[in-house]
Every structure is written in structure tokens, then in C-alpha cells.
Amino acid sequence: MKRYQMFVAGDFVDPVDGDAQIPRAKPHDVDLAVRSAHHAMTTGPWSKFTATQRGKFLNAIADLVEKNRDHLAEIETRDNGKLLRETRGQLGAIAECWRYYGGLADKIEGHSIPIEKADALAFTTREPVGVVAALTAWNSPLWFAAIKCAPAMAAGCAVVVKPSEFASASTLEFAALVKEAGLPPGVFNVVTGLGQEAGSALVEHPDVAKITFTGSDVTGAKVYETAARAMKRVSLELGGKSPNIVFADANLELAAAGAVSGIFGASGQMCTAGSRLLVQRSILDDFTDRLLKLARNIRLGDPMDPETDVGPIATPPQFQKVMDYLAVARADGARCVLGGKPALGPGLTGGQFVEPTVFADVTNQMRIAQEEVFGPILSIIVFDTEQEAIQIANEIDYGLVAGVWTTNMGRAIRMSKALDVGTVWVNTYRAYSYMVPFGGMKRSGLGRESGIEAVNEYLETKSVIISVAEEAPDNPFIMR
């Protein structure tokens, strides 16, 4: 097995102490990385580059990601068990994401303001916020690194990435491409290690100005509290318990496929998992039959195998969490109509596989309807009217995404307005794009990633007012 090193100040290095396959950074190692980022941004060559030059580096990274797509996909799938088909597809989008922000770098503009003072000129400039700490979750490390670091670097920031301790290898492999692209040392750094150790040292470091975090709401809240003490900027991409809402007037074939991919894709280990399936009463039996038919045909197996639909649960603690929620759902009175236990059989034994699971008779008050599981467990909740669907969908602490299945255009628009979520998918699900802003309301997070808007998360606006007056004011004690 390969032994990895961290990427700090443009070189691959071991941590100050310790010898592991994936380095366990201590606060001292984090300090070296942040200092190198700070140096790159303040006095190093990065601070002197034009925006167009920065953009060229981002494009060079995009080219290298494209060239190394298969290799990176394999590493990531080996780390987190996501289907190779899916990680390969995602890497295509990751390359394009780097290219998109490469193109944006020299289109970041301030404004001139037609100020109400005749003898003054007012304008704004957009300045990089400072060193960015990017903390990422294990389910899509390279996607998170791209949607955080590409806009940050386009804005002129330098970054220190801390990937999850459960899936660090792909981010370190990616760092080798950054080196190959010839970026000045310190602009992009990777420290690996434990959340409570390397992660918290990074969040607390006085030279970190902005934290962009993807992970659970519990850790996100801790990061937010620490950041608040030093008034650091934060964006948080947290969990969800998303409603996927099927109206009787929907194309039921499409909706059933969307419901299945929304919860069983990636074994349900998605922040966007459509884990609450709201079904209109008049189609409940018909729709449940269609759903179960599709779900029964899911092929569990090796994520490297192109025939596999759904892979394993990524980590032992996550597998245990899924098992615990199966018990919670039953104890609360939900009726298991599919799956409900570990999946065994040829090629599955010992591999942390869970049968695609569907619970019926779920009410929105049950824990299985309110708490994020991050696994292949679907809860069916029945509703009668549009108003009731909105109420159930919004009666939750989370607000990340929602799916709406209907052929009624007016209803689609009314629902999109009424749902308290950052993204509404109408007649589709899991439709991501690095060009479309993404983020949560309520406990699902703060700020937006992707799209042109994301670059604002890494910029401060500075206002400049210049007087063109040649004479001193009549009365210097009156505010001009």
C-alpha cells in the first residue's frame, strides 16, 4: 500500500512526528501550512499575479484533472466505496469546475458609484478575504475541494485543505497535479489527520481568515462557534433530511426512478438524500408498488464493478449508525416493507452492505423522519393536499434540497416558492452543477457554493471615496 505525505509549501512532507500511511498532522504541521499560505498571499508571487495569470493556473489544473481522471476516480472509490462509474463522472465535472473558475478569475469586478457628492469619486474593489481553510467530508472529497478551492483561488486566496480522515488519499493525489501545474508554493496545501486535532487547529489558527466546511451539522456548529470568537468568515454545507414530494398528477415512472436514485444512490450517503418520500394519498398503493419493484432490482456489489448499482456503507461507524436507525424506526412504529437488515450473499459478506430499505406508515414526527441517517433508508409519508405537503416538507430543522414531481406548472412554481430549502428539483433529483448556487437554509448551513455567486464567499468589498476638490471646505467640522 502506498504511503502518503502531506502537501505543504509546494512540497510533499512528513508530519513533524508520527509515521503512518496517511499522515496525522499535529498543530505544528497545520501552522507550517497556514504560514506558507499566508506568505503566498501576502508577499509571495501569488499576490503579484494578475487575475488572468491566476486563471491560467486554474485551467492548467483542469487539464491535469482531465488527463488523470481514471486514476483519481479509482483512488477515491477505493477510499469511500462510491461507484467507480459515479466518481469517474464526477471527475469530469470537477475538471470543468476548475476551468469555470479559471475563466471567472479576471471577471471579478468592483463598481463605480454615482455618489451624491459633486466633488468626489466613489468606487469599490474586491479583495481576497485571506487564507482559506477548507474542511471536507468523506463522501466526495475531490468535488468539495474543487467547489471550495477553485473560487477561492480565482479570488486570489491561498488555501489549506483538510480532507476527512476516512478519505484523504484522493486529495493528496490531486495535490501532485497542483505541483505539476507549477503553482507557486503555499497557494494550495493539504494537511491530513483527525478532525479534533488537525481540523480544530486549522479552524483556530489566527492567520486563517475564512473557513469553508462540509460535514455534519454537529461539527459545523462547533466550527461556527470557534470562528465567531475571532470573527472569521464561514460558509457551512451541512446535512439534510430532504423531502421528495410526489403528486398524483406526476409522471409516476419518472418519479419512481427519481425516488430510488434519490435515496439509494451512493447507498444514501449524500447530504441531498431524498430520505422523506411524501406521496399523495390517491396514488399511494400504485406508487409504492412501482418504487418497490425498482428497489428490489438494485444490484449491490463491488463499487469497481460496472454492473453494480449500489456499493457498501463507507465506514464501520457509519454502518453502525444505519443499523441503529433501523431499530429506531421499528421502535417508533414504522412498518418495514423492504430490506431492513445487513445485505449478505456472494461478494457482500463482511463488506458493510445494507439492503435498500423502505419504511411505510411513517409520520413526520418520528425520529426516522426528522434525523439524518446517511444511509439507504427511505421513509414514506402520506399527504392529501398541496398545503399539507408544504407543511410536512417544512416542518424540520433542515433545509437543503427538495424534489417535486408534478406535471402542473403552476403547482411546480408554487411549491418552489413555498419550500424552505436552498435547491428545488422539479421532475428530477440529484441534478448538481458547478454553475448553479448550492447551499442550505436553516440547520443545513450558511452561504452558497458553485456558480458565480460562490466567489463572493472569498472576497471582501473595499470602498474607496476620492475627493477631487481643490479647496478646503468652509467648515472642516461638518461632515462632508
- Find out whether 133 and 160 touch, Cβ atoms under 8 Å: yes
**Minimal CB distance to ligand NAD: which residue?**
195
From the list 196, 407, 461, 463, which residue makes contact with ligand NAD (rule: CB under 6 A)?
A: 196
From the list 59, 68, 164, 212, which residue makes contact with ligand NAD (rule: CB under 6 A)?
A: 164
- Find out whether 250 and 406 touch, Cβ atoms under 8 Å: yes
- Active-site positions read 237, 271
Cell 399511494 locates to 284
Number of alpha carbons in the 13 Å side-chain half-sphere of residue 437: 15
Interface with ligand NAD, residue 168, by CB under 6 A: no
End-to-end alpha carbon distance in the chain:
69
Interface with ligand NAD, residue 169, by CB under 6 A: no
From the list 199, 356, 376, 403, which residue makes contact with ligand NAD (rule: CB under 6 A)?
A: 199
Among residues 197 and 361, whose Cβ is nearest to ligand NAD? 197
Q: How far is the CB of 328 from ligand NAD (least distance, A)?
A: 17
Cα(385)–Cα(406) distance, rounded to whole angstroms?
A: 13
Among residues 180 and 197, whose Cβ is nearest to ligand NAD? 197
Binding to ligand NAD (CB under 6 A) within 226-245 occurs at 237-240
Each residue 371-390 as x (binds ligand NAD by CB under 6 A) or -, in order, gives -x-x----------------
Binding to ligand NAD (CB under 6 A) within 394-413 occurs at 400
Which span sits near ligand NAD by CB under 6 A: 110-118, 217-225, 251-259, 384-392?
217-225
342 beta partners:
354
- Find out whether 422 and 444 touch, Cβ atoms under 8 Å: yes
The answer for residues whose C-beta is within 8 angstroms of residue 377's C-beta and 6 or more apart is 263, 268, 275, 322, 325, 326, 329, 357, 359, 368
Cα(198)–Cα(339) distance, rounded to whole angstroms?
A: 39
From the list 59, 68, 90, 139, which residue makes contact with ligand NAD (rule: CB under 6 A)?
A: 139
- Residue 142: phi and psi, rounded to 5, are -75, -30
Interface with ligand NAD, residue 148, by CB under 6 A: no
C-alpha cell at 45: 508571487
Cell 481568515 locates to 209
Q: How far is the CB of 269 from ligand NAD (least distance, A)?
A: 8
Cα(429)–Cα(424) distance, rounded to whole angstroms?
A: 9
Among residues 235 and 288, whose Cβ is nearest to ligand NAD? 235
From the list 222, 233, 290, 448, which residue makes contact with ligand NAD (rule: CB under 6 A)?
A: 222
From the list 62, 131, 134, 137, which residue makes contact with ligand NAD (rule: CB under 6 A)?
A: 137
* Three-state SS at 237: strand
Binding site for ligand NAD (CB under 6 A): 135-139, 162-165, 195-196, 199-200, 203, 214-216, 219, 222-223, 237-240, 271, 372, 374, 400, 440, 445
